[in-house]
Amino acid sequence: MNRRVVLGTIAAALTVAASAASAQEPMVFGVITPLSPPGETALGQQVKRGSEIAVEYINEKGGVLGRKVVLSIHDTAGKNEAGVAAYRRLVSNEKAVAVFGFIHSGVNIAVNEVAKEMGVPTMGTQTGAGDVTAKRYDIAFRTHAVDPPRAATWLGWAKKNGFKRLSILAETTDYGIGLAKATEAQNKSMNLGMDIQTIMFDRTTTDLLPQLLQVKAFKPDAIINVGVGQPLDLMITQATTVGLLPTVPMVTSYDAPGRPQHWQLHKEQGVGVHFIAFYTQKSKLSDVGEWFVKKYQEKYNEPPIYSALNGFANALVFAQAIEMAKTTEPKALIKALETGSFKGWSSVPVTFPQAEGALWHNWSPPLMILKYNKVNQTQADAEVAYTLGDN
Amino acid sequence: MFSAELFTQTLIAGLMIGVLYALMALGITFIYSIVRMINWAMGEFYMLGSYIQYVVVAHALGRDLWWLAVIISTAGTFLVGYLLQPILIKPMYARAMERRDDYATVVTIALLLMLRSLAVVIGGPNQFRPETNLPVMWVGPLPMEGARVAASVCALLALGVFYLVISRTWIGLALRAMAQNRVAAQTSGVDVFRLDAMAFAIGVALAGLAGALLAPLFLVYPTNGAVATVKGFEIIVIGGLGSIPGALIGGLLLGVVESLGAGFISSSYQNAYGFLLVLLVLLVRPYGLFGERGREA
């Protein structure tokens, strides 16, 4: 009896010690993002910066459930297999409670196939393909614009300008294929009657001249550039060479031109380029959003762009959801994410409704098309050429 | 829809890019001929050439002296190759190694990873573009970036100079002797170890030259050599390993097939057309269009 009591006491003490230790152990947030080519590294860097500032903010406020938060950042180089390996390592070895930072849709989709078995929720930071959330996996969340509203934005812009012929050059990735299909589908379903030329290209291609010559032969009113990273910039350069730009307006499918690198690469060729944007310095921010913008500017001597804001917000949302659930247990965390309303960077609260299709667990930022009218113009000064819902 | 103008433009685009691919392939095939090894890090020497080009143009010479920067980039890549060869490659011969091919594969892949990682750490993840002062030029019916025209012309010149050096100079004679029979060349008094270093350096310098010439067109970033390496190996299979004319013809063929395929069949499979050509050549002439059936004692 005495022996049993002693053993039982020791076991209880060890259990308490273990939970006390684990309660003091830092909480790991995993960031899976591209930090080297051929991934979209500039955006990955922004996500990394945003999430690092978020963790500083969270820890300054006392952490989450009394525990300090630490980031574990993994580079995918834009490759699906690297993302999957990173997720496995984060969940199995590092005991991450939340994973975010995705830029490439293909990586997010591949990781979600594993995450649905392993259970730790993921959040697409800037992944646009419908399938990231359209499969309605419990673990899949996203804070970014999906294909349909993005396609609706440039179709609305084209309609506003009276354009009848559009050329879409899209990379053969989940992102590119999804956007090309969404554009064609909406042209049909909304009876816009536009003549659309769709040209797909391998994103590892180093020469887009054959494709651009086909575009030139088609004589479009506008070009939709659905390249990510290097192909996006290559298309701007080569479209100028063959005489398409600046006469034929080009819209890029995301806000890459918002970075200072746009002017370093393109100089005068960058004038007249339109781009989809989700944030400008004129956007309405929440109080933490405003804090973040100031902090980022102090730290990096430049204003943040959307990717940094979203990286910041993803970490914050997970922290708030864990506090709401009072646990890091995945199912409870997922429930909290589905039912809660969270503060992100925008004045619009972040919610993840169980909606239809790609809007499942999806929060979308406001969408607009900005245009540069002069060299070295900043995103803040760019002309707002169109806002979704204008017409 | 077929149009003669589009066909001509696409053909010209294919020929011009093919010449540049041929430079890469020439470097690979030349190193193989002399040193009897495949250098898997050729793409990283291409990348090195492109980075040197950017740094020299952006921070030293400016866009007007882009041509001088090309010479410096090529010389810089040559120097790096010349310094690395005794450390990494020479042990293959100096130590009478048995499994030389395995050694060469491991060492050059390690070099590939090291150079790529260094580029990420030093240069960061962003892309760069060294400028030139060349305006858009018309090549027949096709407007072309001046840099692309210059790159194709320089590549042809480089191929010509290379041919002259190999066929008309003493060093070229010694290198050809080594390619034919290394032991006999050594017995005849040729310093094979010194020429190994020279051959390796020349081979990687050709890749560096391609990188410097293409940097204004295809941008500068840590993995910009990866695709060039694949193209180079496709070309040496098409043209024949160890064949210099094969590298040029193979490059031109690959450029044209990819360009016409993308222009008239489907651009989604641009890279696949090149691989189909490789398969076809392997079926018809397994040792390449200009290659020779090898014999080993």
Shortest alpha-carbon distance between residue A206 and chain B (Å): 6
* Exposed / middle / buried, residue B99 (Cβ in 10 Å: 0-12, 13-18, 19+): exposed
Domain for residue B197, yes or no?
A: yes
- The 3-state DSSP class for residue A251 equals strand
**Is B138 inside a domain boundary?**
yes
Domain membership flag for residue A235: yes
What tokens does B185 get?
């060349």
Let me know if residue B12 belongs to a domain: yes
- Indicate if A70 and A168 belong to the same structural domain: no
Burial of B137 from C-beta contacts in 10 A (0-12 / 13-18 / 19+): middle
Same domain, A16 and A65: yes
Q: What is the pLDDT of residue B162?
A: 87
Whether the predicted pLDDT of B294 surpasses 70: no
Is residue B295 predicted with pLDDT exceeding 60?
A: no
Q: Note whether A88 and A210 are same-domain residues.
A: no
Q: Is B289 inside any structural domain?
A: no
The pair of structure tokens assigned to A14 is 């060890």
Residue for token pair 């984060």: A90
Query: CB neighbours of B256 closer than 8 A, spacing ≥ 6?
Result: B11, B14, B15, B18
Flag if B125 and A36 touch (Cβ within 8 Å). yes
Chain B positions in Cβ-Cβ contact with residue A233 (cut-off 8 Å): 127, 219
pLDDT at A7: 66
Q: Same domain, yes or no, for A53 and A189?
A: no
Chain B residues touching residue A219 (CB < 8 angstroms): none
B contact test, residue of A207, A228, A235, A267 with most B CBs within 10 A: A207
Beta bridge partners of B138: B143
pLDDT score at A18: 52
Q: Which of B5, B59, B128, B270 to mutate to test the interface with A (most CBs of A within 10 A)?
A: B270
pLDDT, tens digit (0-9, with 9 covering 90-100), for A51-108: 999 999 999 999 999 999 999 999 998 999 999 999 999 999 999 999 999 999 999 9
Shared domain for A138 and A268, answered yes or no, is: no
Return the H-helix or E-strand segment holding A101. strand A98-102
Interval A273-288: pLDDT, tens:
999 999 888 888 999 9
* Burial letters B11-40, b for 16+ CB under 10 A, else e: bbbbbbbbbbbbbbbbbbbbbbbbbbbbbb
| Domain CATH code at residue B85 | 1.10.3470
What residues in chain A have their Cβ under 8 A from chain B's Cβ atoms?
A: 35-38, 41-42, 44-45, 77, 172, 199-202, 204-207, 209-211, 213-214, 217, 229-230, 233-234, 237-238, 241-243, 261, 264-265
Is the residue at B297 inside a domain? no
Per the structure, how many domains does chain A have? 2
| A289 Cα to chain B: minimum distance (Å) | 26
Adjacent-strand bridge partners of B139: B142
A15 and A64 in a common domain: yes
B291 within a domain of the structure (yes/no) = no
pLDDT digit string, tens, across residues B225-252: 888 888 888 888 898 877 878 888 999 9
Residue A304 clears pLDDT 60, i.e. is over it: yes
A165 and A266 co-located in one domain: yes
Residues in A touching B232 (Cβ below 8 Å): none
Closest B-chain CA to A39: B125
What CATH number does residue A166 fall under?
3.40.50.2300
**SS3 for A391?**
coil
Q: Do A132 and A160 fall within a single domain? A: no
Q: What pLDDT does B297 receive?
A: 45
Complex prediction ipTM: 0.76
Within a domain: residue A4?
A: no
Instruction: Provide mean pLDDT across the span A114-125.
Output: 97
Inter-chain touch A36–B266, beta carbons under 8 Å: no
Among chain B residues, the shortest Cα distance to A204 is held by B227
* Predicted pLDDT at B121: 83
Give the mutation candidate from B126, B128, B229, B275 for the A interface (greatest A CB count, under 10 A).
Answer: B126
Mean pLDDT (chain B) is 86
Q: How confident is the model at residue B2 (pLDDT cuts 50, 70, 90)?
A: low
B146 interaction partners in chain A (CB closer than 8 Å): none
C-alpha to C-alpha distance for A277 and A384, rounded to whole angstroms = 9
Q: Do A242 and B143 touch (CB under 8 A)?
A: yes
Is B267 close to A214, i.e. CB distance below 8 A?
yes
Q: What is the pLDDT of residue A2?
A: 67
Domain residues for the domain of B208 are 4-284
The whole-angstrom separation of Cα A150 and Cα A176 is 12
Give A225-274 pLDDT, tens digit per residue: 999 888 999 999 989 988 899 999 999 999 889 887 899 889 888 999 99
Residues A40 and A117 in one domain: yes
Q: Are residues A260 and A192 part of one domain?
A: yes
Predicted local confidence at residue B183, as pLDDT? 86
- Of the candidates A77, A202, A217, which has its C-beta nearest B3's C-beta? A217
Domain around A24: 9-145+284-359
Answer for the pair B147, B205: CB distance below 8 angstroms, yes or no: no
Q: Is residue A1 part of a domain?
A: no
- A3 inside domain: no
Q: What percent of chain B has pLDDT over 90?
A: 27
Q: How far is B102 from chain A (nearest CA, A)?
A: 26
Tell me, yes or no, whether B279 lies in a domain.
Answer: yes
Q: Do A233 and B127 touch (CB under 8 A)?
A: yes
Tell me the pTM.
0.78
If asked whether residues A156 and A266 sit together in one domain, one would say yes
Record: contact A201-B270, CB cut-off 8 A: yes
Q: What pLDDT does B211 receive?
A: 92
Question: Could you give the residue ranges of the DSSP H alpha helices within chain A?
Answer: 2-24, 41-60, 80-88, 105-118, 131-134, 147-160, 174-189, 209-218, 230-241, 261-266, 287-300, 306-325, 330-339
Say yes or no: A155 and A182 in one domain.
Answer: yes
Number of domains in chain B: 1
